[in-house]
């Protein structure tokens, strides 16, 4: 359609048909070309030809450690902006899980029509830890103990995710793959939520025959002779 916006001042209203019977006819139609204009950036069908739209959203992935899940973290990410780089600070809440998304408002792509920018969505990926396996808010840690400890029972040391050393009692006669639960030493359920547990899975070490001393071989033979 024909667009008369901008022919004399700021575009505002629709067409004004008043005053067509007298005075300057061009002044009646075009508002004097210098006063308040009678057209905006609309077509005759009434639809706006250029709508203000929000910019597009951006997606990215951020890898964090299990210890950052425990304590929460603040990470800085770099976003390309034209020929430059914008650095954005992102707070990672404690207890977050892999696959969760964080939204940073207004850090997406700019609007092509001058509207608000889009948002930035950050998908969290928790890096596997060599010592701990996550199971919800619980942590699973494998602890290897000697055969003699499994038979007799004694205390052993277990290191938690935050680096604390705990003394743990191994019951006499514990079986391989048995689990001991340490309350409150897992991951938090949220920034202020309760913590899960640390589950210690017991592995019984079988001695390497090639590394046994003569005395150890004799003792094993004695054990075997007595039904062990």
**41-61 pLDDT, tens per residue?**
444 455 555 688 999 999 999
23 or 4: whose pLDDT is higher? 23
Pick 22 or 200 by higher pLDDT. Answer: 200
| Higher local confidence (pLDDT), 102 or 190 | 102
Quote the CA–CA distance of 56 and 120 in Å, as a whole number.
Answer: 9
Note the pLDDT of residue 49.
Answer: 54
Where is average pLDDT lowest: 26-30, 101-105, 171-175?
26-30
What is the DSSP pairing of strand 138-146 with strand 198-205? Answer: parallel
Least confident of 46-60, 161-175, 213-227: 46-60
Average pLDDT, rounded, for the chain: 83
pLDDT number for residue 143: 97
In the chain, what are the domain boundaries? Answer: 1-50, 58-126, 133-225
Query: SS3 of 112, please?
Result: coil
Place of tokens 């629709």: 14
Up-side HSE of residue 146: CA atoms within 13 Å toward CB?
7
- The average pLDDT across 187-203 equals 95
> Between 82 and 90, whose confidence is greater?
90
Q: What is the mean pLDDT of residues 26-37?
A: 43
pLDDT at 52: 87
Mean pLDDT of 136-155: 94
Q: Please choose, from the candidates 197, 200, 136, 146, the residue with its C-alpha nearest in 3D space to the C-alpha of residue 168.
A: 200
* pLDDT value for 80: 87
Helices (H), ranges, 10-77:
25-30, 66-71
Sheet strands (E) in the chain: 58-64, 73-81, 84-92, 101-104, 120-126, 133-135, 138-146, 154-159, 165-170, 179-182, 198-205
Q: What is the CATH number of domain 58-126?
A: 2.60.260.20
Whether CATH 2.60.260.20 fits 133-225: yes
- Who wins on pLDDT, 164 or 7? 164
Give the confidence band of 17 by pLDDT, cuts at 50, 70, 90.
Answer: very low
Distance CA 162, CA 131 (A): 12
Q: Which of 155, 181, 180 is nearest to 168 (CA)?
A: 155
Task: Check pLDDT > 50 for residue 27.
Answer: no
Q: Comparing 58-126 with 133-225, is the CATH topology the same?
A: yes
pLDDT at 139: 98
Quick one: pLDDT at residue 3?
43
CA distance to 103, 142, 145, per residue, from 90 (Å): 9, 33, 42
Mean predicted confidence (pLDDT) in 70-85: 91
């Amino acid at each position: 359609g024909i667009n008369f916006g901008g022919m004399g001042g700021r575009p505002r209203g629709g067409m004004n048909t008043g005053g067509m019977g007298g005075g300057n006819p061009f002044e009646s139609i075009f508002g004097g070309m210098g006063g308040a204009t009678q057209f905006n950036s609309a077509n005759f069908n009434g639809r706006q030809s250029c709508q203000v739209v929000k910019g597009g959203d951006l997606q990215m992935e951020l890898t964090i450690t299990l210890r950052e899940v425990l304590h929460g973290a603040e990470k800085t990410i770099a976003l390309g902006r034209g020929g430059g780089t914008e650095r954005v600070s992102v707070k990672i809440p404690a207890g977050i899980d892999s696959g969760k998304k964080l939204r940073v408002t207004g850090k997406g792509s700019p609007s092509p029509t001058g509207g608000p920018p889009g948002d930035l969505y950050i998908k969290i990926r928790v890096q596997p830890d060599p010592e701990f396996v996550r199971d919800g808010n619980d942590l699973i840690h494998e602890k290897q103990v000697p055969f003699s400890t499994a038979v007799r029972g004694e205390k052993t040391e277990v290191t938690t995710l935050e680096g604390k050393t705990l003394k743990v009692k191994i019951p006499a006669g514990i079986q391989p793959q048995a689990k001991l639960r340490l309350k409150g030493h897992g991951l938090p359920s949220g920034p202020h939520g309760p913590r899960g547990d640390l589950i210690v899975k017991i592995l019984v070490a079988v001695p390497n025959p090639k590394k046994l001393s003569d005395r150890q071989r004799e003792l094993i033979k004695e054990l075997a002779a007595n039904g062990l």
